Structure 1
Amino acid sequence: MKNLQLTLIFLFASLLSFAGISNKEKEALIALHTSTNGEQWTKKWDLNADVSTWYGVKIESDKVVGINLQFNNLNGTIPQEIGNLTALQSINFGLNKLSGELPNSLSNLKNLKSLELFLNNFKGNIPSFLGALNNLEVLALYSNSFTGEIPSELAKLVNLKTLQLGSNFLTGIIPSQLGQLHELETLSLIDNNLEGDIPLELTDLKNLKELILSDNKLTGNLPLQFSKLNKLGTLMVSDNNMNVEYATVVEDRASVKSAIITFNDTYVVERD
């Protein structure tokens, strides 16, 4: 009897360990596979095999918590079903051929800490609903075809450490509300069509290490208060339409490792 009980306990534990993800989550992954031309991926999924064997899928406690399909020849759009993977903590679809607009179901992913969609061909506005992802620490949307203004709702991402929106077609001003992102370490808006002054509020970002605003249409002065940011190691504001007389803001800052400041092609400061 004792042996029988031990056997039953072992079988029950085995069943639990191989229970696998829910059908709803598996269907969401299959929808992703279908909508991004999975048969042509570089590293393919065997849809008849256990999901735990699928390339780039991380599972914990029978939940999909991560998808990393960077540089895997994904071609197509992100399906709405992605929002059914509510335990997701990280998504990396960088360096692929994805297009279309971001699905609004992404707003369901409240556990998401990292969203990396760089080097694709996504279009449309950067969705304001991304501001609802309160746990987000990394938002990398650079090198796409996003248009419109930077949504001020991104200021709600109070845990954000990295915000990379460079090399898109963004217009309008830099939202002053971004100065509320007190955990921010990297802010890159390079190579867009942003106008107006650099918001003084950005000098409130005490944890900022990199500020990259080159290749825009920014005007006005570079706020002198940036010299008070002790962690700032890289400051790039070249190729804008800013005033020259404040280009010396970092000259006395020994902690600045790299500074490239060019105003109207008349003045350059470089530090290594």
Structure 2
Amino acid sequence: MKSFATLFLACVFSLNIFADTVSDKEKDALIKLYYATNGSQWKIKWDLSLSVETWYGVRTENGKVTALYLADNNLQGELPAEFFQLINLVSVDFHKNALKGQLPDLIGNFKNLEVFNASSNELSGAIPKTICDLKKLKDLELFKNNISGEIPAEIGNLNQLEILCLFDNKMEGVLPVSLYKISTLKVLLLNNNKLSGNLNTAILNLVNLENLSLFDNNFKGEIPKELEKLPNLSELNLSYNKFNGSVSKNLIVLDALNMTMFDENGNLFLLDINEEKMPENSIVN
């Protein structure tokens, strides 16, 4: 009986030792995040006296912090530099908070990151080009912020990206040529910005694209006929731009506003319907 009690106490002691397996460095980074984003005012707070594994929204695996799910939790302020030391993160969801400031170049530290959602915050400044170093990234959502500047020219390095949502920001410039190389893209939502330039015929490379929205920008020129060759495209909105020329009936049906455009004088008009058949084209390399 005595040996059983001894064994039981030893087990309990062992559990207490390994209850908080996260390294001091990662724990400290989380604590810095908590204080920098006004943790005392979070909807669901962390009890810092307990092990990291008990903290709301924190996921760990093999003693490493792999995910943070803190959406709609009243995070306020700027992300501290220490946050970007959580190099084992695979998924981050900060959407619908009050985060401010610019995403720093340090975001390039997240080499294992697959999902980053900081939509519906108050982030500003340009998207750092180091975000294009995150080769495992599949989902990037920064919509409904105050982000400005251009889409990084190196965006095409994200060759596993499936979702890119940057709508409702203040972004400018043309679409980078490298963007058309991301054949894995399924959702591309860039509406309600100040983007400009033409659509490249290389859009034909986006063979997995299901949803494309460029609504309310400053795009111009003719809409590439190659759009109609995308086999999975089921949602499309190109209206409220300065596109000209004509489009097929099939594309007009997909567009919620029937391809309503602005002319050079700011007047609204509908693009003409082109009844021509599409030529057989191969995918652009």
TM-score > 0.5 by shorter chain: yes
- Using the TM superposition, give the Cα deviation of residue 259 of structure 1 relative to its aligned residue in structure 2, in angstroms: 7.1
Look up the match of 2:184: 183
Look up the match of 1:267: 270
Q: Superposed, which structure 2 residues align to 1:105-124 within 5 Å?
A: 105-124=106-125
Count of residue pairs brought into register by the alignment: 266
CA–CA distance in 2 between the matches of 1:208 and 1:16? 49
- Using the TM superposition, give the Cα deviation of residue 10 of structure 1 relative to its aligned residue in structure 2, in angstroms: 4.8
- CA deviation vs aligned residue, 1:219-251 (integer Å, no higher than 9, x gap): 001100111111001111010011042264525
Change in Cα spacing, 1:260 to 1:49, as seen in structure 2 (3 Å) is: farther
Residue segments in structure 2 that go unaligned for 5+ positions in a row: 263-267, 273-285
Are positions 1:250 and 2:248 aligned together? no
Look up the match of 1:21: 22
Give yes or no for contact 1:233–1:258 (8 Å, CA) kept in 2: no
- Using the TM superposition, give the Cα deviation of residue 64 of structure 1 relative to its aligned residue in structure 2, in angstroms: 0.7
Backbone CA RMSD of aligned residues? 2.4
- CA deviation vs aligned residue, 1:153-184 (integer Å, no higher than 9, x gap): 11101110000111111111111210111110
Look up the match of 1:135: 136
Look up the match of 1:223: 224
- CA deviation vs aligned residue, 1:97-130 (integer Å, no higher than 9, x gap): 1110112222111110000010111111111000
SS of residue matched to 1:59: strand
Give yes or no for contact 1:226–1:249 (8 Å, CA) kept in 2: no
Look up the match of 2:78: 77
Change in Cα spacing, 1:39 to 1:3, as seen in structure 2 (3 Å) is: closer
Change in Cα spacing, 1:258 to 1:242, as seen in structure 2 (3 Å) is: closer
Give yes or no for contact 2:139–2:163 (8 Å, CA) kept in 1: yes
Give yes or no for contact 2:20–2:52 (8 Å, CA) kept in 1: no
SS of residue matched to 1:105: helix
Q: Superposed, which structure 2 residues align to 1:1-272 within 5 Å?
A: 10=11, 14=15, 17-246=18-247, 248=249, 250=251, 256=254, 260-264=258-262, 265-267=268-270
SS of residue matched to 2:246: coil
- Using the TM superposition, give the Cα deviation of residue 70 of structure 1 relative to its aligned residue in structure 2, in angstroms: 0.6
Look up the match of 2:279: none
Change in Cα spacing, 1:157 to 1:9, as seen in structure 2 (3 Å) is: farther
**Runs of 4+ residues deviating >3 angstroms:** 2-17, 256-260
TM-score using structure 2 length: 0.86
- CA deviation vs aligned residue, 1:118-153 (integer Å, no higher than 9, x gap): 011111111100001110000001111111111011
CA–CA distance in 2 between the matches of 1:45 and 1:78? 17
Residue 262 of structure 1 aligns with an amino acid whose one-letter code is T
CA–CA distance in 1 between the matches of 2:53 and 2:9? 25
Give yes or no for contact 2:20–2:51 (8 Å, CA) kept in 1: no
Give yes or no for contact 2:238–2:255 (8 Å, CA) kept in 1: no
CA–CA distance in 1 between the matches of 2:200 and 2:13? 60
| Structure with max Cα Rg | 2
Residue 213 of structure 1 aligns with an amino acid whose one-letter code is L
Give yes or no for contact 1:37–1:74 (8 Å, CA) kept in 2: yes
Give yes or no for contact 2:59–2:68 (8 Å, CA) kept in 1: yes
- Using the TM superposition, give the Cα deviation of residue 260 of structure 1 relative to its aligned residue in structure 2, in angstroms: 4.5
Change in Cα spacing, 1:163 to 1:239, as seen in structure 2 (3 Å) is: same
SS of residue matched to 1:24: helix
Change in Cα spacing, 1:38 to 1:21, as seen in structure 2 (3 Å) is: same
Give yes or no for contact 2:115–2:138 (8 Å, CA) kept in 1: yes
Moved more, 184-193 or 2-11: 2-11
Give yes or no for contact 1:80–1:104 (8 Å, CA) kept in 2: no
Residue 153 of structure 1 aligns with an amino acid whose one-letter code is E
SS of residue matched to 1:119: coil
- Using the TM superposition, give the Cα deviation of residue 203 of structure 1 relative to its aligned residue in structure 2, in angstroms: 2.0
CA–CA distance in 2 between the matches of 1:126 and 1:35? 21
CA–CA distance in 1 between the matches of 2:165 and 2:139? 8
